[in-house]
Amino acid sequence: MKQLMLGNAAVARGLYEAGCCVISSYPGTPSTEITEEAAKYDEIYCEWAPNEKVAMETAFGACLAGKRSFCAMKHVGLNVAADPLFTMSYTGVNAGMVVGVADDAGMHSSQNEQDSRHHAIAAKVPMLEPSDSAEALEFTKLAYELSEQFDTPVLLKMCTRVAHSQSLVETSGRMEPAVKPYEKDIAKYVMMPGNAIRRHPFVEERTRRLQAWAETASINRVEMSKAEKGDTTVGVITSSTSYQYVKEVFGDAVSILKLGMTNPLPVKLIQDFACKVEKLVVVEELDPVIENHCKALGLAVSGKDFLPVEGEFSQNLIAKKMGEEVYEGRAIDDPIPPRPPVMCAGCPHRGLFYTLSKNKCTVLGDIGCYTLGAVAPLAAMDMTLCMGASISAVHGFNKALGAEAEGKTVAVIGDSTFMHSGMTGLANIAYNQSNSTVIILDNSITGMTGHQQNPTTGYNIKGDPAGKIDLEALCKAMGFTRVRVVDPYDLKACDTVLKEELAVEEPSVIISRRPCALLKYVKHSAPLKVDVVKCVGCRSCMRIGCPAISIREGKAHVDATLCVGCGVCEQLCGVKAFQSTGKEG
Ligand SMILES: Cc1ncc(C[n+]2csc(CCOP(=O)(O)OP(=O)(O)O)c2C)c(N)n1
Encode pLDDT of 51-87 as tens digits: 999 999 999 999 999 999 999 999 999 999 999 999 9
Residue 397 confidence (pLDDT) above 90: yes
CA separation for the pair 444, 527 (Å, rounded): 23
Q: What does the pLDDT read at residue 228?
A: 63
Residue 301 confidence (pLDDT) above 70: yes
Looking at this protein, which amino acid is placed at residue 257? L
459-518 pLDDT per residue, tens: 999 999 999 999 999 999 999 999 999 999 999 999 999 999 999 999 999 999 999 999
Burial 241-259 (b: 16+ CB within 10 A, else e): bbbbbbbebbeeebbbbbb
Report the nearest atom of ligand 1 relative to the CA of 443.
20
Ramachandran sector of residue 471 (left: φ over 0; alpha: ψ -120 to 50; beta: rest): alpha
For ligand 1, whether the C-beta of 419 sits within 6 Å is: no
What is the CB neighbour count within 10 angstroms for residue 445?
23
Whether omega for the bond prior to residue 377 falls within 30 degrees of 0, making it cis, is yes
* Residue 251 vs residue 226, higher pLDDT: 251
Residue 231 confidence (pLDDT) above 80: no
Helix (H), strand (E) at residue 221: strand 220-223
Whether omega for the bond prior to residue 30 falls within 30 degrees of 0, making it cis, is yes
CA separation for the pair 126, 263 (Å, rounded): 5
> Strand 409-414 to strand 482-486: parallel, antiparallel, or no bridges (unpaired)?
unpaired
Q: How many Å lie between the centroid of ligand 1 and the Cα of residue 447?
A: 8
Residue nearest to atom 7 of ligand 1 (CA): 28
What is the CB neighbour count within 10 angstroms for residue 295?
14
Q: What HEC string does 530-563 produce?
A: ECCCCCCCCCHHHHHCCCCEEEECCEEEECCCCC
Residue 585 confidence (pLDDT) above 60: no
* Residue 582 vs residue 90, higher pLDDT: 90
Distance of CA 77 to the CA centre of its chain: 7
Mean pLDDT on 202-211: 98
Specify the long-range contacts of residues 383-388, CB closer than 8 Å, at least 24 apart.
384/111, 385/111, 386/76, 386/79, 386/111, 387/51, 387/76, 387/80, 387/417, 387/420, 387/421, 388/413, 388/417, 388/420, 388/421, 388/422, 388/424, 388/425
CA separation for the pair 202, 153 (Å, rounded): 14
Residue 220 confidence (pLDDT) above 90: yes
For ligand 1, whether the C-beta of 417 sits within 6 Å is: yes
Report the nearest atom of ligand 1 relative to the CA of 418.
15
Residue nearest to atom 4 of ligand 1 (CA): 28
Residue nearest to atom 21 of ligand 1 (CA): 369
Mean pLDDT on 26-45: 98
Mean pLDDT on 196-212: 98
Pocket residue to mutate for ligand 1, from 448, 454, 457, 512, most atoms within 8 A of Cβ: 448
Pocket residue to mutate for ligand 1, from 71, 384, 416, most atoms within 8 A of Cβ: 416
The dihedral over CA atoms of 121, 133, 71, 154, expressed in degrees to the nearest 10, equals -30
> Strand 508-513 to strand 437-442: parallel, antiparallel, or no bridges (unpaired)?
parallel
For ligand 1, whether the C-beta of 388 sits within 6 Å is: no
Q: How many Å lie between the centroid of ligand 1 and the Cα of residue 353?
A: 18
Q: What does the pLDDT read at residue 584?
A: 58
Report the nearest atom of ligand 1 relative to the CA of 28.
6
Residue 328 confidence (pLDDT) above 90: no
Residue 273 confidence (pLDDT) above 90: yes
